[in-house]
Amino acid sequence: MRGSKKWSEMDSVRDEIFNNAIRLFAKKGYFSTTIRDVVEKAGVTQPMVYYYFGNKEELFITCIKELYSDFRHKYDEIEKDISFKEFVEKYTRLGEEIFSSNPEKLLLMIHFLYSPEEYPKFPELSEIITRPLKIIIEAVRRAKSRGELAKGVDEYTVALVLFGSMVMTATIIYNAEYFDLKIPITPDKFNKTIKKMLFDSILRKK
Amino acid sequence: MRGSKKWSEMDSVRDEIFNNAIRLFAKKGYFSTTIRDVVEKAGVTQPMVYYYFGNKEELFITCIKELYSDFRHKYDEIEKDISFKEFVEKYTRLGEEIFSSNPEKLLLMIHFLYSPEEYPKFPELSEIITRPLKIIIEAVRRAKSRGELAKGVDEYTVALVLFGSMVMTATIIYNAEYFDLKIPITPDKFNKTIKKMLFDSILRKK
Amino acid sequence: MRGSKKWSEMDSVRDEIFNNAIRLFAKKGYFSTTIRDVVEKAGVTQPMVYYYFGNKEELFITCIKELYSDFRHKYDEIEKDISFKEFVEKYTRLGEEIFSSNPEKLLLMIHFLYSPEEYPKFPELSEIITRPLKIIIEAVRRAKSRGELAKGVDEYTVALVLFGSMVMTATIIYNAEYFDLKIPITPDKFNKTIKKMLFDSILRKK
Amino acid sequence: MRGSKKWSEMDSVRDEIFNNAIRLFAKKGYFSTTIRDVVEKAGVTQPMVYYYFGNKEELFITCIKELYSDFRHKYDEIEKDISFKEFVEKYTRLGEEIFSSNPEKLLLMIHFLYSPEEYPKFPELSEIITRPLKIIIEAVRRAKSRGELAKGVDEYTVALVLFGSMVMTATIIYNAEYFDLKIPITPDKFNKTIKKMLFDSILRKK
DNA sequence: AATGAATGAGATTTCATTCAT
DNA sequence: GATGAATGAAATCTCATTCAT
């Protein structure tokens, strides 16, 4: 066995590159992250990036794609036949889970969403970015057809409110120390309030 | 006439640089925007950037600061003694105005907010970035103290919901074609719905 | 005035790059000539190549094109209404002139001709390479129609014989020391003999 | 059958490397041919090149030497006591044979001859490259001493004419499509004419 | 005999920045 | 104010080569 780490501690070279790339891309963006940054953090040599990923652009795309398929899988597991209340419950809990276990993963997706032109283009981009929004939109639609919602509720706005406020909250928490912010918010607290706000405003009063 | 420019043409070099820099920083981020990009779009020569702005970092900082003072001025004009309903009314209308007249200005601030580490740091940064949020937080606080809000409403979450959903909506609209999105949302429509949602959920029922 | 050279000795940076590039491309080929080779010989810095020529490929293409237009001009000056004898006279003298004044120029064209796939492709390639051959072919044709040639003479073969043997001779002389060759041939001697051979074999006996 | 290859498959790895190396060196030159190019075409792995040939330079040298011994053998079979007419007959037919059966072999030698500095140097180089020329020179000399030639014929020029025009013709035919040339020449046609030209011009009239 | 993984050195290219005029 | 020319430093990427198995 090479090196001094135990097997269980030893990430493969590819994984080491992959994970550090995500972290750096999430923090500094695609362009200001250099291959040298990545390999230094990963403790590997430069050509390894090219060996495993082809080039910088493909490294980035691979990161996004793998994260995406991971996310997608989790979001797709939310059942379709649950009530809107339950949906929001699960949706927000899922976001909270992903964020606390690995904020970088979430932040990279967000970063990408907010500055698409900074990044390499690839065909599946649109699908990846709009997926979480579409999931909410569909859930609102189903709720509507089941008569759960108040009249005149626009599914797109609801989606933007839920998604946008989650994303903003994650960002603010993630960058809290950077901004020297003293906003006493936690994912947990946020989730409680957003749920209350949503339910109060859009569910049909019985 | 020789040797003398009209007023409207004066400082055109500086302005060209400034405006195109904002546009490019907003679209591609700080790092992937090169001085060459800027001067090409602006139709001036490279040393002019250094003559007027010192260097790339200062160019960026100057852009942010000037935008900020512009924004600040407008947001500061919102009166303190109005009802929360009126505040939201004015706040959202202001956002809509800025976005439609010059989306890049707004987008640059947003972009910066989401990836602070990608950009140069400077002392006033934190203040600038968190200002719009703080304005909402204070408005909620005042509303609370005036007894306008339902019990248990958390001012931070409300701020994040309002701000986050505005930001997300602006981003989605701005990047609509890029994402090939068919979400039929307009700032106007969004504003109507977010206001209704907010008021239904957080204002005290009389 | 910068540096210590007198004006008349001072080649511009662009010329310095250009001339040394030709020399090196001619000697070592496109691929094994590095930009560093060029700039070291030229006594300039690397970015200057990109400033004046864009990139390595364009540097090469520019070299070929400029040489070509130079050659073309000279070859086009050969009159059309002269006898075949005179044509060969002028054609060979021209080759001799170019070769002795600047063998690299000729050799680069030859090098290119012999290994087209090693080089960047560009549209005018075909025209450039085949031009000198076509000039001979046309001259043979004109001679034929004027009844100067013996029956059954194939213009393509004549062109290949004249052109091929000139090219080979130039190459052998240019690489003489490299190959440690003791072939006592000079352009002058070669020209005399090739002319005699051609005239003896293809001109119509009176 | 397991573990045992048929004879025809034995050494296939070495052969694959060897043959594809020749093809690529002939087409793209030494420098722009990469080991990866070779192993990809050959369908083997990189270390195999080092196992069988040591390194790139030795791979190239081995290619040249093996080709050379092949050529040498064939050219050495041309008898010394035949007439010059017969010599040219056999010499040109041999060139035609080699070219049609495996043009790359011929082209690699030619390519090398034209740009020696692009290739690795090795002791036997000079001998190898100048061999075919020397064979003609000697033949002309023998013809002279047998009184077959007209007066004043220079053996070097004759060698250069025969060799140079053969080489040029082979090159033009090989690269015809690349150059988009419409020169209707074939090895066969060329051989007929070059022989006629040579004999008409340098053989002693009886 | 064969391979996947790894590497040091070096190639091309770009970028922010400055100098001389 | 303005410019063409120039530069040092660094980024991306490739290549021949080797190691461990």
A44's enclosing H/E stretch is: none
Domain that holds residue B195: 68-202
pLDDT band for position D2 (cuts 50, 70, 90): very low
Q: Is the pLDDT of residue B43 over 90?
A: yes
Q: Evaluate whether C128 touches C64 at the Cβ level (below 8 Å).
A: yes
Q: Which of B178, B184, B198 sits opposite A156 (nearest CB)?
A: B184
Helix (H), strand (E) counts: chain A: 10, 0
D50 touches strand F (CB under 7 A): yes
Q: Give the best residue of B157, B186, B189, B191 to mutate against chain A (max A CB count within 10 A).
A: B157
Judge residue B147's burial from the number of C-beta atoms within 10 Å of its C-beta, 0-12 exposed, 13-18 middle, 19 or more buried.
Answer: exposed
Q: How far is CA D103 from the centre of its chain?
A: 8
More confident residue, D197 or D49: D49
Q: What is the pLDDT of residue B9?
A: 52
The answer to whether residue A41 is domain-embedded is: no
Residue A186: inside a domain: yes
A118–B161 C-beta distance less than 8 A: no
Which strand F bases fall within 7 angstroms of a protein CB?
Answer: 1-21
pLDDT-derived band at A206, boundaries 50, 70, 90: low
Say if the Cβ atoms of A197 and B202 lie within 8 Å: yes
Q: Which residues contact A183 (CB under 8 A, 6 or more apart)?
A: A172, A176, B133, B137, B156
Chain D adjacent subunits, 3+ CB pairs under 8 A: C
Count, in order, helices (H) and strands (E) of chain B. 10, 0
Q: What local confidence, expressed as pLDDT, does residue C45 receive?
A: 96
The model's pLDDT over C131-142, given as tens digits with 9 standing for 90+, comes to 888 899 999 999
| DSSP 8-state assignment for residue A77 | T
Asked if residue A149 belongs to a domain, the reply is yes
Q: Which nt is closest to the CA of A47, judged by C1'? A: E7
- CA to C1' distance (Å), from A34 to E15: 14
Q: C148 is written with which tokens?
A: 């100067």
How many Cβ contacts (< 8 angstroms) between chains A and B?
156
Query: Could you give the CA distance from residue C21 to residue D32 in angstroms, rounded to a whole number?
Result: 18
DSSP chain C: --SSS-GGG---HHHHHHHHHHHHHHHHHHHH--HHHHHHHHT--HHHHHHHHSSHHHHHHHHHHHHHHHHHHHHHTS-SSS-HHHHHHHHHHHHHHHHHH-HHHHHHHHHHHH-GGGS---TTHHHHHHHHHHHHHHHHHHHHHTT-BPTT--HHHHHHHHHHHHHHHHHHHHTHHHHT------HHHHHHHHHHHHHHHHBPP-
Report pLDDT for A2: 36
> Rounded to an integer, what distance in angstroms lies between the CA atom of residue B117 and that of residue A107?
12
Rounded Cα gap, residues A155 and A143, in angstroms? 10
Question: Which chain A positions have a beta carbon within 8 Å of B117's beta carbon?
Answer: 27-29, 178
Place of tokens 């120390």: A177
Q: Is residue B37 domain-resident?
A: no
pLDDT score of A69 more than 90: no
**Is it the case that residue A189 has pLDDT exceeding 50?**
yes
Domain assignment present for residue B41? The answer is no
Q: B165 and A169: CB-CB below 8 Å? A: no
pLDDT at A90: 95
CB contact at 8 A, A49 and A39: yes
Q: What is the identity of the amino acid at C184?
A: P
Number of domains in chain D: 1
The model's pLDDT over A101-134, given as tens digits with 9 standing for 90+, comes to 989 988 888 888 888 888 877 767 677 778 888 8
- Percent of all residues in chain A with a pLDDT value above 90, rounded to a whole number: 55
**According to the model, what pLDDT value does residue A3 have?**
38
> What distance in Å separates the CA atoms of residue B16 and residue D75, rounded to the nearest whole number?
74
| Euclidean distance between CA atoms B25 and B119, whole angstroms | 10
Q: Do C117 and D178 touch (CB under 8 A)?
A: yes
B47 touches strand F (CB under 7 A): yes
D27-45 burial, b at 16+ Cβ within 10 Å, e below that, comes to bbbbbbbebebbbebbebe
CA→C1' distance for D95 and F13 (Å): 43
The half-sphere exposure of D81 on its side-chain side, counting CA atoms within 13 A, is 0
DSSP code at position B8: G
- Residue D164: CB partners within 8 Å, gap ≥ 6? C164, C165, C166, C167, C168, C169
Interface test with A, best of B110, B201, B203 (most A CBs within 10 A): B201
For position C108, what pLDDT does the model report? 87
Residue B149 phi, psi (nearest 5): -100, 155
Chains contacting chain A through 3 or more C-beta pairs under 8 A: B
Nearest-angstrom CA–CA distance, B178 and A117: 8
pLDDT at A200 exceeding the cut of 60: yes
The answer to whether B157 contacts A193, with C-beta atoms less than 8 Å apart, is yes
Q: Evaluate whether residue B155 is within a structural domain.
A: yes
Of A16-25, A126-135, D47-56, minimum mean pLDDT range: A126-135
pLDDT at A5 over 50: no
Question: What is the Cα C132 distance to its own chain's centre?
Answer: 9
Chains adjacent to C (≥3 CB pairs closer than 8 angstroms): D
The number of C-alpha atoms within 13 Å of A123 and in the hemisphere containing its C-beta is 0
The answer to whether B167 touches B199, Cβ cutoff 8 Å, is no
Share of chain A above pLDDT 70, in %: 93
Average pLDDT, chain D: 88
- CA of B148, closest CA in chain A: separation in Å? 16
Q: Name every chain D residue with its beta carbon within 8 A of the beta carbon of C133.
A: 172, 183
The enclosing domain of B113 has a CATH number of 1.10.357.10
* Cα D191 to the center of its chain, rounded Å: 16
Number of Cα atoms under 13 Å in the Cβ half of residue A136: 23
Q: Which nucleotide's C1' atom has the smallest distance to the CA of B37?
A: E15
- The percent of residues in chain B predicted with pLDDT above 90, rounded, is 56
Query: What's the first-to-final CA gap in chain B, in angstroms?
Result: 69
- Asked whether residue A51 is assigned to any structural domain, the reply reads no
Cβ A115–B28 below 8 Å, yes or no? yes
Question: Residue B184's pLDDT is what?
Answer: 87
Best probe of the B interface among A165, A175, A192, A199, by most B CBs < 10 A, is: A165
Taking the CA of residue C36 and the C1' sugar atom of nucleotide F3, their distance in angstroms comes to: 28
Lowest mean pLDDT, pick from B49-63, C71-85, C109-123, D40-54: C109-123
Report the DSSP beta bridge partners of residue A203: A149
| Contact yes or no for A169/B164 (Cβ under 8 A) | yes
Decide if D200 and C198 are in contact by the 8 Å CB cutoff.
no
Cβ within 8 Å, pair A179-B32: no
According to the model, what pLDDT value does residue A159 have? 93
What's the pLDDT score for residue B4? 47
Q: Per-residue pLDDT for chain C (206 aa), expressed as one digit of tens each? A: 333 444 444 579 999 999 999 999 998 889 999 999 999 999 999 999 999 999 999 999 999 888 888 888 888 899 999 999 999 999 999 999 999 988 988 888 888 888 878 887 776 777 777 888 889 999 999 999 998 988 878 889 999 999 999 999 999 998 888 887 788 888 888 999 899 889 988 777 66
Q: CA-CA distance, A196 to B202, in Å (whole number)?
A: 9
